[in-house]
Amino acid sequence: MVDGSIIEAMEDDKEGHVLDKIIREADAFYGQEHKHNIYALLSDYSTARGYSGNGQFKALDYSLARDQADTVAEKHMALDAIKDTIDDNWKPGSELHLKVGKLKNRIKQWTSAVTEDPSKAINLPELGIEQLREEVKTKVSRMRRPFYAIAHRVLTTQGIEDALAMGANAIEIDATAWVRGGWWADWAGYEASAGNKIKDMFHKISELKRDNRAYPIFVWIDIKNPEYCKPDLWYYNCSPDKLKDMAREVLQSTGVRVLYGFSQEAARTDVFRSFVLDLQPFEAVSIDGELPKFDDVIEKGHRVMSYGDHFVTGSGFHRTQLELRNGVDSGQWDDC
């Protein structure tokens, strides 16, 4: 921070202005808000190391003084940046505000100790600033989680537009494979239960985004029969690989994220494992199962918690609320 010429000028300094030059450069580099911290530390060093009142330096360790001034200023600036984030998201007097105050007091105590005994002028002890930064970052990210209104069982291209018009910002499509025709938006696998082809559904979403119209942030593809067709030459069009390729080529290429949904039974298949091992940044996987059974299967950044409708689980809505809250508090999910 301080130019080497200032250090070299020590021996020629007859009037004792070197310390003032260091302080001025420190002020210019760090700003007025930290001036008192740097000035106090350098002044303490000059007094302790024998800076005489007539302007003569005796044994002042400039390098050490400069390094310690840098360290103190950097710690204060790091804490100030963290405090700014806390101020933006919490009311004054919060637990996080108190933690910042305690860390600043520890820095002041260290500076006072060095003033009394310069031999203690070693690096500041580990204060836990990085840990506090991560704690604040994690809590802010949880507070700012997006809210998704997911339209359930959308099976036609018109249904996509209708759902978005009613306020949905994500849609769930049931995907069923047929040997003839490939993948369909179909929830039951009957001739009368199918809507449009999955390919047409994806292209409709891509078209909406290209035209700057309302479009879903992500598409939840509930895969009903993932093992129906093997991914070989003859059955590629109805294979899971074909479904994944279409999602990447049509949806993800335009910035629409994709969530692949599997049942608990399907999550034990080779198809599921092939999806998990090949997940890309815009993809995640949902399993209709319990976390302890699948915790080590999917990385945190590629999984989504889904507790399901309270009528289906039979546990009552209060249980659903409790499970979602527990999921958020556990830190095991990027989105709940």
**230/168 Cα distance (integer angstroms):** 34
Q: What would the two tokens of residue 78 be?
A: 């790091």
Please state the φ and ψ torsions of residue 113, each to the nearest 5 degrees.
Answer: -65, -40
Rounded Cα distance between 243 and 247, Å, is 6
Question: Using the 8-state DSSP alphabet, how is residue 178 labeled?
Answer: E
Q: By CB neighbour count within 10 A (0-12 exposed, 13-18 middle, 19+ buried), where does 201 fall?
A: buried
Residues counted in the chain: 336
Question: Would you please indicate which residues are annotated as catalytic (active-site) residues?
Answer: 152
Residues whose CB is less than 8 angstroms from the CB of residue 27 and which lie 6 or more positions away in sequence, other chains included:
35, 38
| Helix pair angle (157-165, 198-210), 10° resolution | 40
H/E element holding 170? strand 170-178
CA-wise closest residue to 64 among 142, 133, 121, 14: 121
C-alpha to C-alpha distances, 219 to 36, 191, 201, nearest whole angstrom? 55, 24, 10
